[in-house]
Amino acid sequence: KLLYIDINSLSKGLQSNTNRMAQFQEVMRQQLESSMYAELEKLVSTAKGAEAEVSKKDFEGFRKLFHRFLQVKGPSVEWSKINRPPEDSIQPYDKIKAKGLPDNIADSLNKLVVVKLNGGLGTSMGCKGPKSLISVRNENTFLDLTVQQIEHLNKTYNADVPLVLMNSFNTDEDTKKILQKYRHHRVKIHTFNQSRYPRINKESLLPVAKDMAMTGENADVWYPPGHGDIYASFYNSGLLEQLIAEGKEYIFVSNIDNLGATVDLYILNHLVSQPNGKRCEFIMEVTDKTRADVKGGTLIQYDGKLRLLEIAQVPKAHVDEFKSVTKFKIFNTNNLWISLSAIKRLQEQNAMDMEIIANPKTLDGGLNVIQLETAVGAAIKCFENALGINVPRSRFLPVKTTSDLLLVMSNLYSLEAGCLTMSERREFPSTPHVKLGSSFTKVQEYLTRFESIPDMLELDHLTVSGDVTFGKHVSLKGTVIIIANHGDRIDIPAGSMLENKIVSGNLRILDH
């Protein structure tokens, strides 16, 4: 007997199955969304007065994000459509600098606002409270150095550059207390708060929070949703409108823990000197990738637009290619120059489109949750005439760990008017590679292990592991590796000079 199959019928059957599946998924999505919205309504109903108004605005943004999160399937880029950016879309810094500076620098500066992302806590370095309040150099905190830099600009050029801090609910109260001490400095300081979003239970896809409280069992159910939230929260705060009314045109945005992110007059001049029709609405400072920067976002050309590509968006099969230093040569420093009027326009047109980062976390009790976040640089594709500028590495000096802290506290850098510059006595411009072990992770413990910060002018590489302490006036040169095995302790004697040395075993210096 012949088995006869009607291909048309089979094809129609498969098609109808696919349609049914799509319909089923759509119904599920709608149910999830309406359940989420009902929960958000319940949460807002537990807020009082002004908090209720703020929460309503926050949740509007969260709803949009959640809606898009349910729509998105898989990585948000098609690898085959990725192209290298056109030559003129990433300019070398030297070309920008060659244009020189105008006679009246104050005119340019008076159009500028400096915005620092100040939402982070110092927990990764074992500190409580805002990271910006950690002492990094001569007892100056990140915030002190920022204020000193801007005050120096305002005094030198008789300008009025304000400082704006984007705080989170974690940092707002402590930061505002500290701001009292800058009252007599020549810097106007404003703050606004990032949104507060509910963490989502990974299984039910509903908020973990039961009410709007932030203490007790609700202590870890909220989160600030990444720095991509700057556009909405800045706009919602009313501060954006106020600054435009004062004649401000651009913001310079950077992480408060990037000590290289100072106001650059050449980039500012490039921005304000563009003819009106060609006004550049967004500049991203990028710098050359080293093997230490393999995870940093990079610029690509995609659908005819300049776009930020983050590691989270890369299909698994292409992650190694993304990390290669040969294909993607630059990475985003998160130093950004953005037009205020363009932010206002995009917010009002609801046209700010940033890829969603679904960040999985596990709470202390073991509950798996998801945080929906966005990155500020991801909005580059929404702005007109966006540009990358390949800046020197010195403009990227983040302090994320105590290893970074050791570099900025050392004689590799000199400090003037809040700015750190590489010492002229160092013969090569790159910073040494420093890896401090787990005994140095927390700032307090790190500080007890150094009687004074070693001389590191001629250091290339330092690895320290285990229970190690340094006496006063130690000098480190070339490659130095110090390893105290478990149960051993190594005290590097005061005045020691270690050059291309490996030290291991046990070395105790006893006071007599």
Sketch the domain layout of the chain as residue ranges. 79-395, 402-504
Whole-angstrom Cα distance, residue 193 to residue 66? 21
For residue 189, give the nearest of 116, 274, 136 by alpha carbon.
116
pLDDT tens digit sequence for 27-43:
888 999 999 999 999 99
Whole-angstrom Cα distance, residue 440 to residue 437? 6
Burial 72-106 (b: 16+ CB within 10 A, else e): eeeeebeeeebeebeeeebbebeebbeeeeeeebb
Residue 164 CB neighbours (<10 A) = 23
Asked whether the beta carbons of 150 and 161 are under 8 A apart, the reply is yes
94 annotated ligand-binding residue: no
The three-point CA angle 242-247-252 to 5° equals 85
Model pLDDT, residue 1: 46
Residue type at 202 in one-letter notation: K
Asked whether the beta carbons of 452 and 473 are under 8 A apart, the reply is yes
For residue 199, give the nearest of 221, 215, 229 by alpha carbon.
221
List 477's β-bridge partners, or say none. Answer: 458, 499
CA distances from residue 249 to 236, 315, 420 in whole angstroms, order as listed: 18, 38, 27
The CATH fold of domain 402-504: UDP N-Acetylglucosamine Acyltransferase; domain 1 (2.160.10)
List 369's β-bridge partners, or say none. Answer: 201, 361
Q: Give the 3-state secondary structure of residue 39.
A: helix
CATH class of 79-395: alpha beta
Element (H, E) at 142: helix 142-157
Give the distance, in angstroms, between the CA of residue 341 and the centroid of all CA atoms in the same chain.
23
444 annotated ligand-binding residue: no
CA distances from residue 156 to 142, 153, 250, 262, 367 in whole angstroms, order as listed: 21, 5, 20, 15, 53
Choose the catalytic residue: 111, 329, 400, 477.
Answer: 400
List 422's β-bridge partners, or say none. Answer: 413
131 annotated ligand-binding residue: yes
Catalytic, 111? Answer no
Q: Give the 3-state secondary structure of residue 260.
A: coil
Q: Which residues of the chain have pLDDT under 50?
A: 1, 511-512
270 annotated ligand-binding residue: no
pLDDT tens digit sequence for 450-459:
999 999 999 9
100 annotated ligand-binding residue: no
In this structure, is the dihedral angle defined by the CA atoms of residues 178, 183, 186 and 191, taken in order, positive or negative? Answer: positive
Residue type at 122 in one-letter notation: G
Model pLDDT, residue 428: 83
Element (H, E) at 66: helix 49-71
List 504's β-bridge partners, or say none. Answer: 483
Question: SS3 breakdown of the chain: % helix, strand, coil, rounded to 5?
Answer: 40, 25, 35
Report the first-to-last Cα separation within the chain, whole angstroms. 104
194 annotated ligand-binding residue: yes
Write the burial class of residue 273 (CB in 10 Å: 0-12 exposed, 13-18 middle, 19+ buried).
Answer: exposed
For residue 415, give the nearest of 162, 139, 182 by alpha carbon.
139
Model pLDDT, residue 319: 85
CA distances from residue 270 to 22, 48, 238, 278, 288 in whole angstroms, order as listed: 50, 47, 28, 12, 21
